[in-house]
C-alpha cells in the first residue's frame, strides 16, 4: 500500500480508513458516483462483485442476454439521461462480446464505464480459462482503460474512470479487475479524496479572441448556416437551449448530423432537416452555398461531407469542438474554437449581444431565405404514395403523428429504416433520439431501447427497426420481459437488408448477392414466444389503429410492419458527388447510371 492511496484524514478527524473487499469497493464506488442502474451478465471472474450486489438494493442490475446488449443498453441509457452508462461483465467472452458496443460508444462519444472481470493476477498470461488480454484488446477502442492489480488503487481508478468517461469528449472507459483483487481487502477512498492518476484536464472554455472573430464572421454573413452534431447533445440540454437562442438571434438556418437530431426542434421554421448522404435537399444545398458555416460539435464525417473538393467551396468555416483533434482533421477551419459546445455557444451569444447591432435579420438574410424556400419547394423527401402497400416513409410519418404529443424516445437500428426515421420522425428535443451513427451497428436499437426504458420507465420508447438488424440482438426481448419494460419494436419489414439491396441495385448491377432475408421468423409468434405482444399489418388503412394499439399495450410489442419491399431511401448524394448533386425520388428511374466507377469504389 502506498501512502497516497490512504484517504486524507478530514479536518474533524472523525473518519478512519474504510477497509473492505475489492468487490465491495466496486459497489461502494458506483454508489458514490451516483450510479443507480447497471447492465451486465455474470460469470466466473466477476462472481465476487455479483455477490456484493446481492445485498445492495440501491443498485439496480439489469440482466441482459448477451454482453453486446449490455453495452448498447448502457449507451441508450447514457444518451437518454446524460449520465454515464455502466456495464458489468465477466472475463474472456464476456469482455470480447462488449467490444462492438465499446467501439460504438467511442465513435459516437457516449460516456460508458465498463467493468470486466479478469482471471486472478497470478494466472494472467497463462492462457487460463476465460482469459483474454482485455486491456490489450480494448486499448484502441476505449478513451482509456485500466487493469487494476492492487486493490488499494481500485476506488481511485473507478472514480477516475467516471471522470474520464464524462469529461472532455465523452467516451468508453474499461476497468479490468482480476478476481483475486475483488476478494482482497483494501482501503476505500471517496471521490472527493481520490487523487487522480492522470493529469487530464480537457479545455472547456473557448478562446475569447476566436469567439469574437466567429461572432464578427456570423454578423457579416449573408448566407450563414449552423451545422450541429452530437456534441451539442453531449453538452447537455442547456447547450441545445443556447443553440436555439443563438439561431434566433442570428436568424440563421440550422441543419444537423444524424447524431445531433433533437438539439434543434424539427418544427422550428429555421430547421432545414438533417444534412448528408440521405439528408434534406435544402440542408445539403445550404451547406454547399453558405458563406459562413458554424460547425458545433460535429466532425465533418464522410457521410456528411460527400465529395471533399466540392464541399461548401465558398464558405468560411467556424468549427467548435471539445476535441482539438477534430478541428482541421477533415476540413480546414478558418476559425477553430476548442471548448464545450454549450459554453462556447453562450460565449457567442454574449459576444453577439456586446457587438454593435448588425443589420436587421430580415433584410440581411432575405435573399438567403428566399433561396432556401426555393430548395424547400423541391420537396426532396417526397415519395409516391400508395393505397395498397405501406410505404416505409408513410409508416414513419404515421408513427410520428400518433406519438408526437406523447413523452416519446426513439432508438433505431442501422440501415434504410434508420435514414427514413431520421428524415420523417421529427425529433424536437435533445436526448430523445438514440442511434448508432459512427460505427453503424446493426442490432443497436433494441438493447438501446431497453436502456432508455430503464431510465424512463413511464415514457414511450420505440425502436424503429429493420427486419435484418433487429435479429442481431433480438434476444434482448427476454430482458424487456424480465424487467417489465414495455418497449415497442416497430419493424419496417421489407424482407431485405434494405440498404445493402439499394447499393447493390445502384452500384452492382442489381446483383442481389446474399441480401435477401430468407427464412425470416414469424415476428408475431416470436413476440409471443418471448411473452410479449405481436402485431402485424401490410395494409395502409389498418396502420393507424395498430400503431395506437401498440402504444396502448403496456407490454413489450413487436410490430411487424410489412412495407413496400423495393423502396429506395432517397434523396441521396451518390458516392463521389457533391452536396448540390443529389438524386431525388423523382429522378430515380435509371439510378445505375448516376454513380460512376470512381464512386463505386467508395464505401
Q: What's the CA dihedral at 493, 499, 503, 504 to 10 degrees?
A: -40
- Using the rule CB under 8 A, is 227 a contact of another protein? no
- Using the rule CB under 8 A, is 350 a contact of another protein? no
Between CA 201 and CA 234 the distance in angstroms is: 17
Binding mask 138-167 for another protein (x = CB under 8 A): -xx--xx--x----------------x---
Among 204, 330, 382, 584, binds another protein (CB under 8 A): 330
Sheet containing strand 488-493, edge to edge, reads: 433-434, 408-412, 460-466, 488-493, 557-562, 533-537
Per the CB < 8 A criterion, the answer to whether 99 and 139 are in contact is no
Between CA 254 and CA 251 the distance in angstroms is: 9
Binding mask 195-214 for another protein (x = CB under 8 A): --xxxx--------------
Among 271, 311, 424, 425, binds another protein (CB under 8 A): 311
Per the CB < 8 A criterion, the answer to whether 155 and 188 are in contact is yes
- Using the rule CB under 8 A, is 598 a contact of another protein? yes
* Residue number with CB closer to another protein (253 or 306): 306
Least spacing, CB of residue 304 vs another protein, in Å: 10
Q: Which backbone phi and psi does 246 adopt, to 5 degrees?
A: -65, -40
- Using the rule CB under 8 A, is 122 a contact of another protein? no
Least spacing, CB of residue 139 vs another protein, in Å: 6
Q: How many CB atoms lie within 10 A of CB 403?
A: 21
Least spacing, CB of residue 257 vs another protein, in Å: 14
Contacting range for another protein; rule: CB under 8 A; set: 51-59, 183-191, 326-334, 375-383? 326-334
* Residue number with CB closer to another protein (28 or 299): 299
- Using the rule CB under 8 A, is 360 a contact of another protein? no
- Using the rule CB under 8 A, is 603 a contact of another protein? yes
Least spacing, CB of residue 124 vs another protein, in Å: 11
Among 205, 291, 302, 429, binds another protein (CB under 8 A): 302
Among 309, 363, 458, 590, binds another protein (CB under 8 A): 309
Contacting range for another protein; rule: CB under 8 A; set: 65-73, 266-274, 306-314, 579-587? 306-314
Among 382, 576, 580, 586, binds another protein (CB under 8 A): 576
Per 3-state DSSP, what percentage of the chain is helix, strand, and coil (rounded to 5)? 40, 15, 40
Q: What is the DSSP letter of 174?
A: E
Kindly give, in sequence order, each residue whose CB lies less than 8 Å from that of residue 179, ignoring residues fewer than 6 positions away. Answer: 44, 45, 46, 47, 48, 117, 118, 119, 120
* Residue number with CB closer to another protein (295 or 546): 295
Q: Which residues are catalytic?
A: 67, 129-130, 179, 499
Binding mask 533-572 for another protein (x = CB under 8 A): ----------------------------------------
Residue count of the chain, please give it: 603
Per the CB < 8 A criterion, the answer to whether 382 and 434 are in contact is no
Q: What is the DSSP letter of 295?
A: E
Beta strands in 82-126, from DSSP E residues, in sequence order: 85-89, 112-118
- Using the rule CB under 8 A, is 575 a contact of another protein? yes
Q: What is the DSSP letter of 8?
A: P
- b/e string for 16-51 if b means 16 or more Cβ within 10 A? eeeebbbbbbbbbbbebbebebbbbbbbebbbbbbb
- Using the rule CB under 8 A, is 387 a contact of another protein? no
Residues that bind another protein (CB under 8 A): 135-136, 139-140, 143-144, 147, 164, 197-200, 302, 305, 307-309, 311, 323-325, 327-330, 332, 575-576, 598, 601-603
Amino acid at each position: 500500500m502506498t501512502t497516497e492511496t490512504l484517504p486524507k484524514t478530514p479536518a474533524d478527524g472523525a473518519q478512519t480508513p474504510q477497509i473492505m473487499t475489492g468487490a465491495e469497493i466496486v459497489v461502494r464506488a458506483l454508489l458514490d458516483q451516483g450510479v443507480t442502474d447497471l447492465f451486465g451478465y455474470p460469470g466466473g471472474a466477476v462472481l465476487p462483485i455479483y455477490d456484493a450486489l446481492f445485498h445492495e438494493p440501491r443498485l439496480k442490475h439489469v440482466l441482459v442476454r448477451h454482453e453486446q446488449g449490455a453495452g448498447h443498453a448502457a449507451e441508450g441509457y447514457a444518451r437518454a439521461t446524460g449520465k454515464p452508462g455502466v456495464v458489468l461483465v465477466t472475463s474472456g467472452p464476456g469482455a470480447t462480446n462488449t467490444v462492438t458496443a465499446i467501439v460504438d460508444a467511442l465513435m459516437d462519444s457516449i460516456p460508458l464505464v465498463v467493468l470486466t472481470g479478469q482471471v486472478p493476477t497470478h494466472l494472467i498470461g497463462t492462457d487460463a480459462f476465460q482469459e483474454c488480454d482485455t486491456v490489450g484488446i480494448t486499448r484502441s477502442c476505449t478513451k482509456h482503460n485500466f487493469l487494476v492489480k492492487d486493490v488499494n488503487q481500485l476506488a481511485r481508478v473507478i472514480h477516475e474512470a467516471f471522470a474520464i468517461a464524462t469529461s472532455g469528449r465523452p467516451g468508453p472507459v474499461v476497468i479490468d479487475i482480476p478476481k483475486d483483487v475483488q476478494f482482497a481487502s483494501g482501503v476505500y477512498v471517496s471521490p472527493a479524496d481520490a487523487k487522480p492518476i492522470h493529469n487530464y484536464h480537457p479545455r472547456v472554455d473557448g478562446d475569447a479572441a476566436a469567439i469574437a472573430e466567429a461572432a464578427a464572421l456570423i454578423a457579416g454573413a449573408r448566407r450563414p448556416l449552423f451545422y450541429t452534431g452530437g456534441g451539442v447533445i453531449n453538452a447537455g440540454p442547456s447547450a441545445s437551449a443556447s443553440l436555439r437562442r443563438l439561431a434566433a438571434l442570428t436568424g440563421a438556418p440550422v441543419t444537423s448530423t444524424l447524431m445531433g437530431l433533437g438539439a434543434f426542434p424539427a418544427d422550428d421554421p429555421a430547421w432545414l432537416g438533417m444534412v448528408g448522404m440521405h439528408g434534406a435537399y435544402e440542408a445539403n444545398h445550404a451547406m454547399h452555398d453558405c458563406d459562413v458555416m458554424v460547425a458545433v460539435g460535429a466532425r465533418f464525417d464522410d457521410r456528411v461531407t460527400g465529395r471533399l473538393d466540392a464541399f461548401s467551396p465558398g464558405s468560411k468555416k467556424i468549427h467548435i469542438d471539445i476535441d482539438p483533434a477534430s478541428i482541421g482533421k477533415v476540413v480546414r477551419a478558418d476559425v477553430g474554437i476548442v471548448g464545450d459546445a454549450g459554453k462556447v455557444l453562450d460565449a457567442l451569444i454574449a459576444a453577439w449581444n456586446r457587438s454593435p447591432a448588425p443589420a436587421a435579420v430580415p433584410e440581411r438574410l432575405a435573399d438567403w431565405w428566399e433561396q432556401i424556400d426555393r430548395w424547400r419547394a423541391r420537396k426532396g423527401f417526397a415519395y409516391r404514395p400508395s393505397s395498397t402497400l405501406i410505404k416505409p416513409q408513410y409508416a414513419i410519418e404515421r408513427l410520428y403523428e400518433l406519438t408526437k404529443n406523447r413523452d416519446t424516445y426513439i432508438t433505431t437500428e442501422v440501415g434504410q429504416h434508420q435514414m427514413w426515421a431520421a428524415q420523417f420522425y421529427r425529433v424536437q428535443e435533445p436526448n430523445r433520439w438514440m442511434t448508432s451513427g459512427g460505427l453503424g451497428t446493426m442490432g443497436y436499437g433494441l438493447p438501446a431501447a431497453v436502456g432508455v426504458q430503464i431510465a424512463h420507465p413511464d415514457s414511450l420508447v420505440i425502436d424503429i427497426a429493420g427486419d435484418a438488424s433487429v435479429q442481431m440482438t433480438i434476444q434482448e426481448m427476454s430482458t424487456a420481459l424480465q424487467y417489465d419494460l414495455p418497449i415497442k419494436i416497430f419493424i419496417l419489414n421489407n424482407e431485405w437488408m434494405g440498404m445493402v439491396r439499394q447499393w447493390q441495385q445502384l452500384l452492382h448491377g442489381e446483383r442481389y448477392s446474399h441480401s435477401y432475408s430468407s427464412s425470416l421468423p414469424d415476428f408475431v409468434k416470436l413476440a409471443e414466444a418471448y411473452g410479449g405482444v405481436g402485431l402485424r399489418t401490410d395494409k395502409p388503412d389498418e396502420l393507424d389503429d395498430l400503431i395506437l394499439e401498440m402504444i396502448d399495450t403496456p407490454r413489450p410489442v413487436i410490430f411487424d410492419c410489412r412495407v413496400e419491399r423495393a423502396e429506395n431511401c432517397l434523396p441521396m448524394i451518390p458516392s463521389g458527388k457533391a452536396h448540390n448533386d443529389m438524386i431525388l425520388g423523382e429522378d430515380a428511374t435509371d439510378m445505375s447510371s448516376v454513380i460512376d466507377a470512381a464512386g463505386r469504389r467508395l464505401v
